[in-house]
C-alpha cells in the first residue's frame, strides 16, 4: 500500500513540487488565476513572453476560435524584461512560486541581453522562445533551422548560468534535428511543442480573421501531434522535457508523460477551465494510486511501442 505519493520532479537541477507548469502566454504573470489556485501550487509558472522593451502586441483581431482549439497572434504583448524584474518577479518569488522566464526577440542580441539581465536575478530558469522571426535572416524563425538553433542557444548559454530551456517549434520537417542542435549547444532542458502555424478566413469578407493573417494554433486539436513529437525527441536526446500542446485533462497529461515528458505544461484549456491545473494534478494522483505508482517520475517514458 502506498503511504505517500511523491509528485516532485527535477528539471535541469530545479526541483518542481509537482509536474504541472503553466505554458507561457496563457496565464500572464499568475495574478488572473489567483482565485482558482495560488502560484505556489504549481510545479512552476512560465510567465508571459518577455522582450527587451515593452511591446503593445499586434492590432486586433488577434484571437480566433477554431474546432477544438484557437488561433492567436497576440504579438508578444508584455511590459518588457526590466518591468518584469522590478515588479512581477519579486511578487511571484514572495508568493513561493518557481518561476520560468520566457524570453523572445528578433535578433540573437535581444536574447543575449535578456539572459544577462535575468542572470543576476532570482528567477529559477530561462525558456527561449525560438519560434520568433530572425529579422537579420529575412524573417525566418530561429527555431526552424537546426544551425540557427545551435547558434542562438550557444550564444545565450554563454551569457547565463541559469538553467536554460529551449522551446522547440513544431513548424519543422524533423523536430529531432532542432532538439539535437539545442542539446549540442548546451541547453539544459527542452519544452515542446510551441504553437503550429494556422489560418482562418471569413468567407463573407474574404479576409483572414486575424489581422496578422496567420497565427499560432493551440488547443486539444494539436495534442496528438505534440505527443508524437515529444516521443520522437525523447528517443533522440537525453535532456529533460516539458511536454505541452493541447493538454486539457489528467489522462492527456499522463499520456504526454508516458510519451517521454518529465513535466507537462497546461495552456489554452485554462481559458475555458481556469481550474484545469488543479483537476489535472488530482487526476494524476488518482492514476498513481490506482496503479500502485509511488513516484510520478515512474510514468515518464513508460509507453510500450509495438
Per-residue model confidence as pLDDT tens for the chain (306 residues): 567 999 999 999 999 999 999 999 999 999 989 999 999 999 999 999 999 999 999 999 999 999 999 999 999 999 999 999 999 999 999 999 999 999 999 999 999 999 999 999 999 999 999 998 877 877 788 999 999 999 999 999 999 999 999 999 999 999 999 999 999 999 999 999 999 999 999 999 999 999 999 999 999 999 999 999 999 999 999 999 999 999 999 999 999 999 999 999 999 999 999 999 999 999 999 999 999 999 999 999 999 999
Catalytic residue among 27, 112, 132, 269: 132
Residue 22 domain boundaries: 9-298
Alpha carbon separation from 187 to 77, 197, 265 (Å, rounded): 26, 25, 19
From 43, 48, 186, 53, select the one nearest 124 (Cα to Cα): 43
Instruction: Indicate the number of domains in the chain.
Output: 1
Residue 1 belongs to a domain: no
Strands 189-192 and 164-167: parallel
Residue 255 belongs to a domain: yes
To the query of whether residue 132 is one of the catalytic residues in this protein, the response is yes
Residue 256 belongs to a domain: yes
Residue 303 belongs to a domain: no
Say what the pTM is: 0.97
Residue 3 belongs to a domain: no
Residue 2 belongs to a domain: no
Question: Which three-class secondary structure state does DSSP give residue 108?
Answer: helix
User: Domain of 288: which CATH number?
Assistant: 3.20.20.70
Residue 83 belongs to a domain: yes
Amino acid at each position: 500500500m502506498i503511504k505517500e505519493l511523491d509528485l516532485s520532479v527535477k528539471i535541469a537541477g530545479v526541483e518542481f513540487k509537482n509536474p504541472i507548469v503553466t505554458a507561457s502566454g496563457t496565464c500572464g504573470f499568475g495574478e488572473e488565476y489567483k482565485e482558482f489556485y495560488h502560484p505556489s501550487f504549481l510545479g512552476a509558472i512560465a510567465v508571459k513572453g518577455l522582450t527587451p522593451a515593452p511591446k503593445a502586441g499586434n492590432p486586433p483581431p488577434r484571437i480566433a476560435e477554431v474546432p477544438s482549439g484557437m488561433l492567436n497572434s497576440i504579438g508578444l504583448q508584455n511590459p518588457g524584461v526590466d518591468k518584469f524584474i522590478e515588479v512581477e518577479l519579486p511578487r511571484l518569488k514572495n508568493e513561493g512560486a518557481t518561476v520560468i522566464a520566457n524570453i523572445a526577440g528578433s535578433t540573437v542580441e535581444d536574447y543575449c541581453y535578456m539572459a544577462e539581465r535575468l542572470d543576476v536575478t532570482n528567477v529559477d530558469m530561462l525558456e527561449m522562445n525560438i519560434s520568433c522571426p530572425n529579422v537579420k535572416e529575412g524573417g525566418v524563425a530561429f527555431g526552424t533551422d537546426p544551425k540557427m538553433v545551435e547558434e542562438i542557444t550557444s550564444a545565450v548559454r554563454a551569457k547565463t548560468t541559469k538553467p536554460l530551456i529551449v522551446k522547440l517549434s513544431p513548424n519543422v520537417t524533423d523536430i529531432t534535428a532542432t532538439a539535437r542542435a539545442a542539446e549540442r549547444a548546451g541547453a539544459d532542458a527542452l519544452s515542446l511543442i510551441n504553437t503550429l502555424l494556422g489560418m482562418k478566413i471569413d468567407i463573407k469578407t474574404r479576409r483572414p480573421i486575424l489581422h496578422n493573417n496567420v497565427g499560432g494554433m493551440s488547443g486539444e486539436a494539436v495534442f496528438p501531434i505534440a505527443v508524437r513529437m515529444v516521443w520522437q525527441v525523447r528517443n533522440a536526446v537525453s535532456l529533460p522535457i516539458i511536454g505541452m500542446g493541447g493538454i486539457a485533462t489528467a489522462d492527456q497529461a499522463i499520456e504526454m508523460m508516458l510519451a517521454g515528458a518529465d513535466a507537462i505544461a497546461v495552456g489554452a484549456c485554462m481559458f475555458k477551465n481556469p481550474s484545469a491545473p488543479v483537476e489535472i494534478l488530482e487526476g494524476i494522483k488518482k492514476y498513481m494510486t490506482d496503479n500502485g505508482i509511488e513516484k510520478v517520475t515512474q510514468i515518464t517514458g513508460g509507453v510500450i511501442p509495438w
